[in-house]
């Protein structure tokens, strides 16, 4: 039930209910905001030390995945089991990478 509530709020966030400034945001900016929102909802219930994939895709931005990694990168971050399968398989072409503490590392 909690994941449904998160998905509903995330979809509303991505829909840009905030007016003209939201409509002008790039997909990258939306993906970063969505990744941080998702992180806030999931971080306390997951072990982020191994750099897991947080989301294989984002509602409204299905070409973006969200991954956790260390900055600087650690060997555990390069293990395929700790990366987003959708990105490795070419199903998503972009990703937001956050640190275990939720800080933006990069978005590509």
pLDDT above 70 coverage of the chain, percent: 77
pLDDT at 108 over 80: yes
pLDDT at 21 over 60: no
Q: What is the pTM of this model?
A: 0.75
Average pLDDT (7-12) is 44
Segment 39-52, tens digit of pLDDT:
999 988 999 988 99
Residue spans per domain, the chain: 2-107
Phi-psi group of 19: left, alpha or beta (phi > 0 → left; psi -120 to 50 → alpha; rest → beta): left
pLDDT at 34 over 60: yes
């Amino acid at each position: 039930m909690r994941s449904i509530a998160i998905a509903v709020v995330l979809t509303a966030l991505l829909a840009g209910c905030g007016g003209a400034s939201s409509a002008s945001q790039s997909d990258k900016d939306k993906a970063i905001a969505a990744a941080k929102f998702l992180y806030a909802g999931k971080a306390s219930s997951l072990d982020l030390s191994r750099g897991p994939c947080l989301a294989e895709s984002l509602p409204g931005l299905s070409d973006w995945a969200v991954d956790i990694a260390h900055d600087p990168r650690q060997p555990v971050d390069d293990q395929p089991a700790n990366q987003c399968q959708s990105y490795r398989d070419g199903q998503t072409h972009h990703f937001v990478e956050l640190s275990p503490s939720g800080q933006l590392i990069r978005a590509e």
